[in-house]
Chain A
């Protein structure tokens, strides 16, 4: 021991200072490199986490519960008379509250924050009559009033707030008469209506000694209103009428809880459908949801339902109502329902003083507020951030409401939702449209399905191709050819995916459409021709075979592939004639009931396959090449053929690597954007069918993020789509890594 130590020392001394110095600098460089690498690694992990954090931060508000605060409960300033106001409202800026005062026959305006009276706007038309009915359109500055002497007034009441130099508000309010028409001789008891693009549609109920009569008052485009009666046998006193914004649907609710559903265009003498109340539970309040297609129905026991129109047959034009959603019950009978002016949200109130804020399609009761007394009138602020309830004690209570994303829940994002116009709940992604009453549909499920579908068909094509190519290249190909083939395939990966997508969408898709059968035939014909060729080749005498230089067997493959291609092309129309009734598209439609689209999964498979083949090929080839040679020798020495060796020893040993190659390919395919954007139809459908296209998460984000206003639900849902995409790739990669480790343990090569 000691002698050895001595020699160590002596050699160190002999070599003097130089090696020591070198060692110090080497150590320094080593340390620096270690530090840099460590820092780089941490930076990458940090960056990934930061991205994830940012994405999640943008989506979290989607799932935040609604918040609310009571502002005050005060009597309405400046109201005269004993009667309650005929209606109450808040202007579009949520700055001014107004009420129609039956006593002074004027609009009384108050500052919604300070509750100071602002203005009183008299309504001259009504000066001479007693107001007996009124209705304010919840999302326009429009109202209707009915009088004791049988007249109906339709008027607009613009309220404007302007801010002066000292930031002091000044107000402008007016009442502009649209029409004031004599409907009958009896007092008007109920009035309801809609204004759409200067068409006015009103329904009025007149009360006489002999009974009650319903009229429609329709004034198209500023013309003179036409008054027509609506006939019917009503089973009780009419409590409410609803007129839709096309002047066609009319609902009549009686105090027995029966709802009569008319289509006036079709038949004004009898209802199209009658919905009768169930025992002990009758509707007490009804109102359209924005769009006037579906409606909310409040009941005497405080329950609240959403009803949708559903077709019985796909050819039906007129559709009856069917209950679609249930909301939390209110205390006491429902007395008022007000829809939101721009979403499918609503506020409902009861004579027990409950005030509920909800959202129809997400089936959510967002807030449960309590007013001090039974509620008689309700307002939902135009921005959906304020609720005003006017109660029996003649007090107005104002709440602020904070709930920017009422329409999203896990259910609406991932599950089936029953939207207006649908005959049953469905998965739907439809994020934008021109009109305000359009409801955005944000189900991510079709996009997730589309993503998986695109990746699946891409891999269906790419995996066999890439793995067989890798097997051939690594095990059978002459090394000189391998040196060319491998880099060439890798160069494929450098082809920008936008080019691949462009070619696939604009050139390949129309081309394939006409020769689908031939292309499908190629899958079988080309391998058959190649195999046949190899059979023939093995029969060729060794003498001639030896003459072909090593590695040139590839050259004879080229004509084989061309011949296979030509055979498929020639055979295609024949096969189509015989087996597919001369028209493959038609045949697909007949057999599968699906329209074959031009941009279908064959195109996607080819284009996506082209994008992922290089990576799967490269990694698989490396894995196969890295199988130790001594396994090959061991197998061959036992009398195995090269094919047996390849399939029984090399493939299983390389399986962890091949598996991760496929998974990395899957990850690429899932994240691939440009190809799917250009080569698919981008239709967000729920179908794994190979005959149509898809819309993937990534393409969807790319298409829609420029048009989504920052902070909107749409914007946040797109971020959620990004999170889902992130999680999908994360899950796939993690699963892949775990499986790979397992396989590796099993097949570890020494």
Chain B
């Protein structure tokens, strides 16, 4: 625990304080203005080559809350999510305009260390992707690449992370077995535990339950509920019920544009936009 904190050095940009309250746009409703903003997206445009995928996205994602991105397929949810930890850098020909700040630091600044950013902003993918290593080594991976090799620290982190991901009881007897022997739901929770192990501030989840059965989905949702005490969570989901069940705030996207962003309750009971209502009531999508 202690070592981890010393490990996490502040991001290279010095001038900005780590916690900062930003002014919330006046139109934000339903308690959003009372929240502490962690991620601030401003006028974000994204192009895949010549094709624009995101149009003028501006939003403030609150800290220690679950924010859900919903919208029909291809509307840019994953694209925006990937912007937050710069996974889009890996894609050939991506161009991003506008700014994106985390804790007031512009992550697209030239001086930002991407590797450090990704340690602070973890990600869970749609398809569970444990490495072909043991369960133990999967959890340790983030620590090992950061140079932590002390067995005591690793043991501790593995146990804590697996407990945190509600997986400990199921796997504690076979920590050194291959992670690929786990069930789909367990694998996905392992990936969450792996992300948790490096103690990020934000965990991004891109449709984490879309490949899981209902029971496994329920477990992951329960987990998300627990995790929000410590982490800021942004989750992309296809599943309206899921967004309703586990998020505090919901953003609705359509054709690369942010249509509406508000408290989940309000989005589902009293959406302001016609498009949002149509989508939620299942008239399209």
Q: Taking beta carbons and an 8 Å cutoff, which residues of A are in contact with B?
A: 479, 542, 628, 630-641, 644, 648-649, 652-653, 746-750
Contacts and interface: CB of A to CB of B under 8 A. Distances in A.
B115 A639 contact: yes
A638 B120 CA distance: 9
B42 interface: no
Contacts of A648: 141, 144-145
B115 A637 contact: no
A157 B181 CA distance: 89
A638 B127 contact: no
A631 B122 CA distance: 15
A544 to B, nearest CB: 13
Given A640-B115, A653-B132, A634 B191 contact: yes
Given A634-B191, A639-B115, A644 B145 contact: yes
Interface string B161-193: 000000000000000001010000000000100
Given A640-B145, A653-B132, A634 B125 contact: yes
Interface string B91-112: 0100000000000000000100
Given A630-B129, A749-B132, A637 B87 contact: yes
A748 B119 CA distance: 27
B142 interface: yes
A272 B180 CA distance: 81
6 closest A-B pairs by CB: A639-B119, A637-B123, A630-B129, A638-B142, A634-B129, A639-B118
A638 B198 contact: yes
B36 interface: no
A633 B180 contact: no
B85 interface: yes
B90 interface: yes
B54 interface: no
B198 A746 contact: no
Contacts of A479: 92
Contacts of B47: none
A750 to B, nearest CB: 6
B115 A747 contact: no
A653 B132 CA distance: 7
A634 B123 CA distance: 8
A746 B178 contact: yes
Contacts of A652: 132-133
B64 interface: no
B234 to A, nearest CB: 13
B122 A633 contact: no
A-side interface mostly: helix
A637 B85 contact: yes
Contacts of B119: 638-639
Contacts of A636: 87, 90, 118
A640 B141 CA distance: 9
B129 A747 contact: no
Given A638-B194, A638-B198, A640-B145, A633 B178 contact: no
Nearest to A648: B145
Interface in B119-164: 119, 122-123, 125, 127, 129-133, 141-142, 144-146
Contact of B122 (A630, A632, A637, A640): A637
B165 to A, nearest CB: 15
B195 interface: yes
A641 B147 CA distance: 12
A641 B90 CA distance: 12
B146 A639 contact: yes
Given A634-B131, A637-B87, 8 more contacts: A630-B127, A634-B129, A636-B118, A640-B141, A641-B115, A641-B145, A648-B144, A653-B131
Contact of A633 (B129, B130, B141, B142): B129
B277 interface: no
A87 B85 CA distance: 105
Given A640-B145, A746-B178, A633 B116 contact: no
A630 B85 CA distance: 16
B132 A638 contact: no
A221 to B, nearest CB: 83
Contacts of A653: 131-132
Nearest to A627: B132
Nearest to B178: A746
A284 B198 CA distance: 91
Nearest to A542: B110
A645 to B, nearest CB: 9
Contacts of B178: 746
Contacts of B92: 479
Given A638-B122, A639-B146, A633 B90 contact: yes
A538 to B, nearest CB: 13
Contacts of A644: 145
A648 B142 CA distance: 11
Contacts of B110: 542
A377 to B, nearest CB: 80
Interface string B247-274: 0000000000000000000000000000
A542 B112 CA distance: 13
Contacts of B180: 748, 750
A428 B105 CA distance: 76
B187 to A, nearest CB: 9
A631 B144 CA distance: 16
Nearest to A641: B115
A641 B115 CA distance: 7
B116 A638 contact: no
A743 to B, nearest CB: 10
A750 B132 CA distance: 9
A639 B142 contact: yes
B145 A630 contact: no
Contacts of B129: 628, 630-631, 633-634
Contacts of A641: 115, 145
B195 A638 contact: yes
A630 B180 CA distance: 14
A750 B191 CA distance: 15
A634 B125 CA distance: 8
Q: Chain B CB within 10 Å — which of A637, A644, A649, A749 has the most?
A: A637
Contacts of A750: 180
Interface string B185-212: 0000001001100100000000000000
Contacts of A638: 118-119, 122, 141-142, 145, 194-195, 198
A550 to B, nearest CB: 9
A191 to B, nearest CB: 86
A747 B180 CA distance: 9
A628 B127 CA distance: 12
B131 A639 contact: no
A635 B133 CA distance: 12
Contacts of A748: 132, 180
B132 A639 contact: no
